[in-house]
């Protein structure tokens, strides 16, 4: 019962109705519904709350999930929608090193004549030759294969 004393969840009637609506109607993600059910179970404004272990077994979640949902509710300042929704990503995703220019140069290399002593281009041979070109990023052979497959280029 430690997190209930540290971070009590007090819902307004409007928030409570909204959470009941989330859990009973519409199509939503399972994790969103689970977090809404946890908030409803931890709500101290409706009266005395069961122990953490009882709530966890009744809802089919762990005690850690109860603690994290209560913590997130406190961090969002009691905003129910922010608590049950997915978190926004803090950092932007890493941009892909494969741009249109890189694809075009890779395809041009794959369509050109293979180097002396080789009958055709292989993915690993393309990988080695791309590493020698200074203004192109080093790409893995599996990435090269995906690029060529996406553009329907066959190494023949």
pLDDT tens digit sequence for 95-116: 888 889 999 999 999 999 999 9
Cα 38 to Cα 16, 34, 82, 88, 122: the distances in Å are 12, 6, 14, 20, 54
Residue 1 pLDDT level (bands cut at 50, 70, 90): very low
Q: Do the Cβ atoms of 103 and 151 come closer than 8 Å?
A: yes
Q: Do the Cβ atoms of 99 and 30 come closer than 8 Å?
A: no
Q: What are phi and psi of 127, to 5 degrees?
A: -60, -45
CA distance 120 to 143: 19
pLDDT at residue 9, rounded to an integer: 87
Q: Do the Cβ atoms of 30 and 51 come closer than 8 Å?
A: no
**pLDDT, tens digit, 9 for 90 and up, residues 139-151:** 999 999 999 999 8
């Amino acid at each position: 019962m430690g997190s209930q004393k540290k971070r009590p969840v007090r819902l307004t009637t409007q928030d409570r109705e909204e959470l009941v609506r989330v859990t009973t109607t519409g199509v939503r993600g399972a994790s969103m519904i689970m977090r809404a059910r946890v908030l409803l179970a931890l709500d101290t404004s409706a009266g005395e709350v069961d122990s953490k272990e009882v709530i966890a077994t009744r809802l089919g979640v762990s005690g850690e999930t109860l603690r994290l949902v209560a913590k997130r509710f406190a961090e969002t300042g009691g905003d129910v929608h922010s608590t049950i929704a997915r978190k926004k990503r803090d950092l932007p995703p890493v941009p892909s090193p494969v741009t249109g220019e890189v694809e075009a140069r890779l395809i041009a290399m794959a369509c050109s004549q293979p180097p002396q002593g080789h009958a055709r281009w292989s993915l690993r041979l393309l990988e080695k030759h791309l590493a020698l070109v200074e203004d192109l990023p080093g790409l893995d052979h599996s990435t090269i294969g995906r690029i060529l497959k996406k553009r329907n280029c066959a190494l023949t």
